[in-house]
Amino acid sequence: MPTIDTDDILEQRRAYNESLAQAADKTRAVWFPIAIMAALLALPALQFVGNYNYLIHLVLFTASYVVMASGWNVLGGFTGYISLGHNVFFAVGGYFAGMAFARLEISTIILAPVAGLVAGALGYLIGLITLRVRGPSFIISSLALVMIFRIFFENWEFVGGAAGVALKANSLPVEWAKLPYYYAFIVMAAFAVWASYRIKHSKFGLGLRAISKDEIKSESAGINTRFYKVMAFAISAFFVGMAGAVWGEYLTYIRPNIFLIILVSVNMVLMCILGGKGTIAGPVIGSVLIVAFNEFFVATLGASEINILATGLIMMLCLMFFPLGIVGTLARHRKLPRVLNWD
């Protein structure tokens, strides 16, 4: 009869668990995101030496997606509930602030947090309903949500139906006209990244990550999974709604086919998957790459159909070969550069 060597097995378990743990704390480089921030805040100074409106637009556009993708990441990355319908909150934020701007002339930048809260509150209510199902059912319900909202917005006379509402452009000279929105998005993006870091490392965030690993076990471990999930949904809706608020005024239009097109919600998902779902830097890296990629395609080929095809193709390849995304894959192989480890 062989002797029972439990120590041996426990030792093996421990070694195994250690191999999974990421080398985290020591490699973090806080200076890097701060340096980027400083550079971006100073960037508009270029307008003194030439016309860099396009560059400003690109950074602004990327920042808007950093806000949305980081927000989406709270639900899709941390909690593991994939929503393909988050552009609903983009629309809600956009319409709320846009209509207030059109009727009451309150700047959407000031209104953005309020619009975010409105979207968040709606997200809370929708989450109460749709988060009762998980996995593919949840994904399908999120798609249905977009369809339902699109029909509503297209038939709601008060907000102009399918034609939407035109918003007044600001009266600044053309080289400075983008700047209010530029700074608004930069600040929101920084806030979104900071907030998602704080969320991830809070007790709440730990609960969300537990839910994404095993919801039933989390529940039996005493986590109020329902409340956690719904809150995660509301928080992610808040960020997306906030981005939508300013986006409408920036484009001087609110219209269903700006906000409620599938490409917007796909972009959020794709950016997180490409960058690394559930990581802090992932959505940022994903946003930069996808925006750059979109611009490249629009500039060289011009056609939005090819853009859809290419986006789909990249998404397929990512899912098949890098399901962990850039940050996740590098981290697993312990090759993540210090400057990109924001977790």
Partner 1 sequence: MIMADMVQILVLGLALGGVYALMGSGLSLVFGVMRIVNLAHPSLVMVGAYIAYWAFRLGGVDPMITLPVALVILAATGVLLYKLVFEREARSAKYSEMTVLLTFALAMVVEGALGTAFTNTQRVTSPDYATDAFFIGSVFIPKGQLYSGIVSLTIISALALFLKYSAFGNAIRATTQNRDAAELLGVNVNLVGLVSFAIGIGLAGAAGALVSFVFSFFPAKHWEWIAILMSLVVLGGMGSILGTVLAAFILSVIAAYVGFFFGATWSTLTFFVALFVVLLVRPQGLFGEKPELA
Partner 2 sequence: MNDLLQVSNVVAGYGDGPAILNGASVKVESGKVHCIIGPNGAGKSTLLKAIVGMLRVREGDVTFKGESVKGLRPDQILRKGICFVPQERALFPKMTVRENLRMGGYSMRDKSELERRIDEIEERFLILKERRDQQAGTLSGGQQQTLSMARTMILKPEVVMLDEPSLGLAPKIVAEIFDIMRVMTEEGITILLVEQNALMGLKHADWGVVLDLGRTLFEGPGKEILNDPRIQELYLGGKKAA
Binding positions for partner 1, rule: CB under 8 A: 82, 84, 129-130, 132-137, 139-141, 143-145, 147-148, 151, 154-155, 262, 266, 269, 273, 303-313, 315-316, 319-320, 323
Q: Which stretch binds partner 2 (CB under 8 A): 6-14, 90-98, 179-187, 188-196?
A: 6-14
Minimum distance of partner 2 from residue 331's CB (angstroms): 17
Scan residues 76-105 and list those touching partner 2 (CB under 8 A).
none
Cβ-Cβ contacts under 8 Å for 8 (sequence gap 6 or more): none
Q: How far is CA 15 from the centre of its chain?
A: 35
Which one of partner 2, partner 1, none is in contact with 2 (Cβ closer than 5 to 8 A by kind)?
partner 2
Minimum distance of partner 1 from residue 297's CB (angstroms): 11
- 2 interacts with partner 2 by CB under 8 A: yes
Q: Which stretch binds partner 2 (CB under 8 A): 4-12, 110-118, 149-157, 256-264?
A: 4-12
Among residues 12 and 202, whose Cβ is nearest to partner 2?
Answer: 12
Among residues 1 and 45, whose Cβ is nearest to partner 2?
Answer: 1
- As a whole number of Å, the end-to-end CA separation of the chain is 49
Per DSSP, the three-state class of 253 is strand
Among residues 16 and 321, whose Cβ is nearest to partner 2?
Answer: 16
Which one of partner 1, partner 2, none is in contact with 12 (Cβ closer than 5 to 8 A by kind)?
partner 2
- 158 interacts with partner 2 by CB under 8 A: no
For partner 2, the binding residue among 7, 16, 18, 173 (CB under 8 A) is: 16
Cβ-Cβ contacts under 8 Å for 24 (sequence gap 6 or more): 341, 343
Q: Which stretch binds partner 2 (CB under 8 A): 12-20, 102-110, 153-161, 162-170?
A: 12-20
Among residues 20 and 320, whose Cβ is nearest to partner 1?
Answer: 320
Among residues 6 and 300, whose Cβ is nearest to partner 2?
Answer: 6
Which one of partner 2, partner 1, none is in contact with 45 (Cβ closer than 5 to 8 A by kind)?
none
Cβ-Cβ contacts under 8 Å for 171 (sequence gap 6 or more): none
- Rounded distance between C-alpha atoms, residue 190 and residue 192, angstroms: 5
Instruction: Give the C-alpha distances (Å, rounded to integers) separating 169 from 131, 149, 173, 295.
Output: 39, 27, 11, 24
Minimum distance of partner 2 from residue 30's CB (angstroms): 33
Number of residues that bind partner 2 (CB under 8 A): 8
Residue 179 one-letter amino acid: L
Which one of partner 1, partner 2, none is in contact with 141 (Cβ closer than 5 to 8 A by kind)?
partner 1
Among residues 51 and 220, whose Cβ is nearest to partner 2?
Answer: 220
Residue 20 one-letter amino acid: L
Is the Cα torsion angle 282, 288, 289, 290 positive or negative in sign? positive
For partner 2, the binding residue among 1, 42, 45, 104 (CB under 8 A) is: 1
Going along 125-229, which residue ranges are E strands?
165-166
- Rounded distance between C-alpha atoms, residue 167 and residue 248, angstroms: 8
Minimum distance of partner 1 from residue 311's CB (angstroms): 6
Question: Where do we find the tokens 């709320």?
Answer: 96
- 50 interacts with partner 2 by CB under 8 A: no
Per DSSP, the three-state class of 254 is strand
Question: Where do we find the tokens 């939005």?
Answer: 304
- Rounded distance between C-alpha atoms, residue 327 and residue 342, angstroms: 10
269 phi and psi, to 5 degrees? -65, -45
Per DSSP, the three-state class of 83 is coil
Spatial CA neighbour of 241 closest among 133, 337, 114: 114
Among residues 103 and 213, whose Cβ is nearest to partner 2?
Answer: 213
Residues contributing to the site for partner 2 (CB under 8 A): 1-2, 4, 6, 9, 12-13, 16
